[in-house]
Amino acid sequence: MFFGFFGADRFYLGLTFSAWCKFITLGILSVFWITEVLIYGSGPLSQKDLQSWAGLLKIVVIMLLSCWYFIDVVRTGSGPVETDGFRCAPDLPRGAFVACSVFCAMGVGFLLAGWSIVQQVSSRRKSLWLMQQAYTQEKHSLDEGALTAGNVEHQAPYGSI
């Protein structure tokens, strides 16, 4: 469930060729994708990605490749799994598989929701900070203009009505 993205399940079952294929396609490309998200700050699905061919290609590739992982998770939890030369006991209880799958999906959902909330709050704080900076600069330039015009005695102090 956790290292299947890198082909650990296939290595364990003795299917080395498909394990290396899964490691190269899902594992390495996912690391590049996660690195891009962390370095460039683009989210897994951003408005910028939907407007460019490269972004759409990135999204389609990740979606198609991640289907391989989800098929392996369902195949492993559904019953006996094919191996290369030995038998694998179907001793994973269905309840444990369902609980693990549901809790992992919920955990990923909560992490993505939390990340989205943090991004939105920081974006709004930055916007508010920029508006306050612009207001302070405008007020400062108006005060400087009043001081140079010689109208200091006619100005009301800050906060008075």
72 lies in a domain? yes
User: Rg (Cα) of the chain, in Å, rounded?
Assistant: 28
Does residue 30 sit in the same domain as residue 68? Answer: yes
Q: How far apart are CA 105 and CA 72, in angstroms?
A: 15
Q: What is the pLDDT of residue 157?
A: 57
Mean pLDDT by 10 residues, the chain (161 residues): 76 82 76 65 57 69 73 78 75 84 89 88 91 87 70 54 55
Are 13 and 82 spatial neighbours (Cβ–Cβ below 8 Å)?
yes
Q: What is the pLDDT of residue 34?
A: 67
Does residue 98 sit in the same domain as residue 88? Answer: no
Q: How far apart are CA 146 and CA 148, in angstroms?
A: 5
Q: What is the pLDDT of residue 125?
A: 93
Q: What is the pLDDT of residue 110?
A: 93
Q: What is the pLDDT of residue 50?
A: 61
Does residue 64 sit in the same domain as residue 141? Answer: no
The domain total for the chain is: 2
Q: Whole-model pTM?
A: 0.52
Does residue 112 sit in the same domain as residue 80? Answer: no
Does residue 10 sit in the same domain as residue 57? Answer: yes
Q: Which domain holds residue 8?
A: 4-92
Does residue 88 sit in the same domain as residue 125? Answer: no
